[in-house]
């Protein structure tokens, strides 16, 4: 969500790079943040200083600036308006950006993208919530609509505004864009309130509760705590100035394990983790654990749904952009489906490769160009509307060249391929995937210990160092007791899967309740640099005997399962969406385990009578989990094989 959300960067391509990571970029350069620095150089962020100077020159050339404070039902917002010098009677549309609780981001965005929207003959209006923590960090999400209504009503009173508004933004700023869209079309809105007619939420979400509680299956603890920390401390420079600010950001972004997080989440109840991490109880963190249903008043008061995609006064033009490994992908796909229904199929969806931060680093220029074109087509209406399919998606593959696919709806029609689980006599935690059903009766077993919960590697939720697709080989070999690994034989021909991956497992467990995590990986064919036969180095690097080749995570999900003693439960898992090409020699791989901690909070295996989040007892004893693989219990993976409904298309310009 800002830097987690890397927000309002939907402007021009150069402006985007200039602003998006200003604070983190400076931090990386000064403190030697290894991985980020390499990515920064690779994607041209080293041009930051030049671009910021260019933005400053643009601002000096005919850009008028106004700053004011507006009172809202939840406190005060600080509003900055940039607009072109207008002739008498001239009226222009406005691009509005609400940075919400990301206080320090407003000034950066104003300099980096504001003048470039003014160059399109639009006003640029950006605002941030000001005031004490109780008015900002405790009211995250809850105040977005109320703040937006006040700003829009003020905007409607300005004689230079033509009543048309565009919204865009990454992550949290996409969420505030949905809130602005909603209140602009509210039934009780005054007639003078401008209408949001063009929206581009990027790696974002219209509601947060399903993601935080993983659709009722767990708690996204790392995401929630990292995001709230940014609102409480990280992006409030009034809390930490100078070196303290940079030190905080360095620890947050440069370390795979955020200092203090594991210790805070090892305690029960976990509700006190907020005090451990930033020294103050937070209403969102604590209230969310007490009231977990989206129907509870706590969430219904504005903390969850920002847009219902209904009752639009005029049909808005909505373009949802997502990433295959982004934490908000499931919600983005649902938002697109709702938007498509509300606009009679006019909504668009674009899916890039990469995770939350990967979309920013690798595709920022493409996002900026798409945003500019969307506004020219639907906000200023200075260019004709481009005609392309409703869904465009980048194919995951090993080549450096981008390949794009298109289809008319999500998910697209697909053929099905089933790969069945088969155990190994040599290792109860290692097995194979094969076509045609199990060849023998077998089972696979692992042990889940809540005192040593299975970690994760890749698809980090607001964790830069674990963001997106990551090499899984080290993880697979280091967790040989609590992670099942099943691998197919090398493929003999190309295989492309596009759509929703699912799995059916037959599972028994010694605990009354436990989580089941299923992860799909692509194992890319290894080079022959080390010789054709396994040797001494293979035995060191691959003690589990999984074979050569880089294993990379594609998609995964978690389900919570209740078990009956001495019985087998059928567990259906929606593993997740993807679009991936496997080439001859590649293999498919599945992980099955019972945690991905702390992305999803570990199950404590507590007593049946105790709440798993609010209880304060010690965690339970380790549980043995058995996955059956025989004719009566055919555990299997179901793959969506690309059909003729999915077509190749022109790549997005870089």
pLDDT score at 386: 85
Average pLDDT of the residues of the chain: 88
Indicate if the pLDDT at residue 235 is higher than 90.
Answer: no
CA distance 438 to 172: 46
Rg (CA), the chain: 25
Segment 358-400, tens digit of pLDDT: 999 999 999 999 999 999 999 999 999 988 999 999 999 998 8
CA distance 102 to 148: 15
- Highest-confidence segment of 9-13, 61-65, 331-335: 331-335
pLDDT score at 528: 61
pLDDT score at 535: 64
Q: How many residues does the chain have?
A: 654
CA distance 544 to 649: 41
According to CATH, where is 3.40.50.1820 located in the chain? 13-253+283-387
pLDDT score at 533: 63
- The CATH code of the domain at 13-253+283-387 is 3.40.50.1820
pLDDT score at 28: 42
- Highest-confidence segment of 20-24, 33-37, 484-488: 484-488
CA distance 619 to 634: 32
Of 527 and 63, the one with more pLDDT: 63
Helix (H, G, I), strand (E, B) or coil at 509: strand
Indicate if the pLDDT at residue 23 is higher than 80.
Answer: no
pLDDT score at 653: 72
CA distance 585 to 526: 8
Per the DSSP assignment, residues forming a β-bridge with 372 are: none
Segment 398-450, tens digit of pLDDT: 988 999 999 999 999 999 999 999 998 767 899 999 998 777 888 999 999 99
According to CATH, where is 2.60.120.260 located in the chain? 415-644
Tell me if 177 sits within 8 A of 316, measured CB to CB.
no
CA distance 375 to 197: 9
What is the second-level CATH architecture of the domain 415-644? Sandwich (2.60)
CA distance 144 to 73: 10
37 pLDDT tier (thresholds 50, 70, 90): very low
Segment 105-161, tens digit of pLDDT: 898 899 989 998 999 999 999 999 988 888 888 999 999 999 999 999 999 999 999
Tell me if 383 sits within 8 A of 376, measured CB to CB.
yes
Q: What is the dihedral of CA 131, 136, 138, 139, to 10 degrees?
A: 120
- Cα angle 398-403-404, degrees, rounded to a multiple of 5: 140
pLDDT score at 86: 86
Query: Using CA of residue 159, residue 164, residue 170, residue 172, what is the dihedral sign?
Result: positive
Tell me if 634 sits within 8 A of 418, measured CB to CB.
no
CA distance 66 to 108: 16
CA distance 406 to 388: 9
Of 165 and 525, the one with more pLDDT: 165
25 pLDDT tier (thresholds 50, 70, 90): very low
6 pLDDT tier (thresholds 50, 70, 90): very low
Indicate if the pLDDT at residue 626 is higher than 50.
Answer: yes
Indicate if the pLDDT at residue 530 is higher than 60.
Answer: no
Segment 161-180, tens digit of pLDDT: 999 999 999 999 999 999 99
47 pLDDT tier (thresholds 50, 70, 90): very low
Q: How far is CA 557 from the centre of its chain?
A: 14
542 pLDDT tier (thresholds 50, 70, 90): confident
Segment 243-290, tens digit of pLDDT: 777 888 888 999 999 999 999 999 999 999 999 999 999 999 999 999
Contact residues for 133 (Cβ-Cβ < 8 A; gap 6+): 232, 236, 280
Segment 78-111, tens digit of pLDDT: 999 999 998 888 999 999 999 998 877 898 899 9
């Amino acid at each position: 969500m800002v830097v987690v959300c890397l927000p309002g960067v939907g402007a021009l391509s150069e402006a985007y790079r200039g602003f998006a990571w200003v604070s983190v970029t400076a931090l990386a350069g000064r403190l030697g943040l290894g991985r980020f620095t390499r990515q920064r150089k690779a994607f041209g962020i080293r041009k930051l200083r030049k671009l910021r100077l260019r933005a400053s020159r643009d601002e000096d050339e005919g850009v008028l600036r106004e700053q004011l404070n507006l009172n809202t039902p939840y406190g005060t917002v600080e509003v900055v308006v940039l607009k072109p010098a207008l002739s008498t009677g001239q009226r222009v549309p406005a691009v509005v950006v609400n940075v919400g609780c990301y206080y320090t981001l407003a000034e950066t965005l104003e300099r980096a993208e504001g003048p470039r929207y003014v160059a399109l003959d639009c006003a640029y209006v950006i605002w941030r919530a000001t005031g004490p923590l109780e008015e900002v960090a405790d009211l995250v999400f809850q105040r977005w609509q109320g703040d937006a209504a006040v700003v829009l009503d003020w905007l409607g009173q300005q004689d230079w505004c033509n009543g048309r508004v565009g919204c865009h933004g990454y992550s949290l700023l996409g969420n505030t864009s949905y809130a602005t869209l909603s209140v602009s079309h509210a039934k009780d809105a005054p007639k003078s309130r401008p209408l949001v007619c063009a929206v581009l939420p990027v790696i974002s979400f219209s509601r947060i509760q399903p993601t935080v509680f993983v659709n009722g299956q767990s708690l996204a603890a790392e995401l929630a705590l990292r995001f709230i920390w940014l609102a409480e401390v990280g992006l409030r420079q009034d809390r930490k100035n100078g070196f303290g600010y940079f030190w905080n950001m360095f620890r947050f972004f440069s370390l795979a394990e955020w200092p203090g997080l594991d210790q805070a989440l090892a305690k029960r109840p976990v509700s006190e983790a907020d005090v451990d991490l930033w020294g103050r109880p937070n209403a969102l963190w604590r209230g969310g654990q007490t009231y977990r249903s989206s129907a509870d008043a706590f969430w219904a008061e504005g903390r969850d749904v920002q847009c219902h995609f209904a009752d639009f006064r005029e049909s808005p033009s909505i373009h949802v952009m997502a990433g295959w490994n982004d934490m908000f992908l499931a919600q983005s796909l649902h938002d697109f489906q709702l938007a498509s229904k509300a606009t009679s199929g006019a909504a668009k969806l674009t899916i890039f490769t990469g995770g939350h931060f990967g979309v920013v680093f690798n595709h920022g220029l493409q996002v900026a160009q798409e945003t500019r074109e969307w506004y020219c087509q639907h906000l200023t209406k200075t260019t004709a509307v481009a005609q392309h399919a409703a869904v465009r998606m980048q194919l995951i593959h090993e080549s450096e060249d981008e390949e794009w696919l298109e289809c008319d709806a999500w998910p697209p029609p697909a053929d099905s391929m089933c790969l069945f689980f088969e155990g190994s006599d040599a290792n109860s935690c290692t097995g194979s995937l094969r076509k045609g059903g199990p060849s023998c009766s077998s089972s696979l077993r692992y042990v889940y210990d809540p005192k040593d919960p299975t970690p994760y590697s890749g698809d980090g939720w607001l964790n830069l160092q674990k963001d997106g697709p990551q090499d899984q080989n080290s993880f697979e070999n280091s967790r040989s007791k609590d992670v099942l690994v099943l691998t197919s034989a090398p493929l003999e021909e190309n295989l492309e899967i596009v759509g929703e991956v699912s799995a059916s497992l037959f599972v028994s467990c010694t605990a009354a309740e436990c989580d089941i995590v299923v992860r799909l990986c692509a194992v890319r064919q290894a080079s022959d640099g080390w010789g054709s036969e396994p040797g001494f180095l293979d035995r060191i690097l691959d003690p589990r005997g999984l074979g050569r080749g880089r294993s990379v995570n594609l998609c995964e999900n978690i389900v919570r399962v209740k078990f009956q003693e001495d019985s087998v439960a059928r567990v259906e898992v929606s593993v997740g969406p993807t679009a991936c090409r496997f080439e001859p020699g590649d293999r498919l791989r599945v992980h099955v385990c019972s945690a991905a901690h702390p992305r999803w909070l570990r199950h404590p295996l507590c007593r049946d009578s105790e709440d798993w989040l609010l209880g304060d007892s010690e965690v339970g004893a380790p549980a043995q989990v058995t996955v059956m693989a025989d004719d009566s219990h055919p555990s299997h993976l179901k793959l969506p094989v690309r059909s003729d409904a999915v077509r190749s298309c022109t790549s997005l310009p870089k």
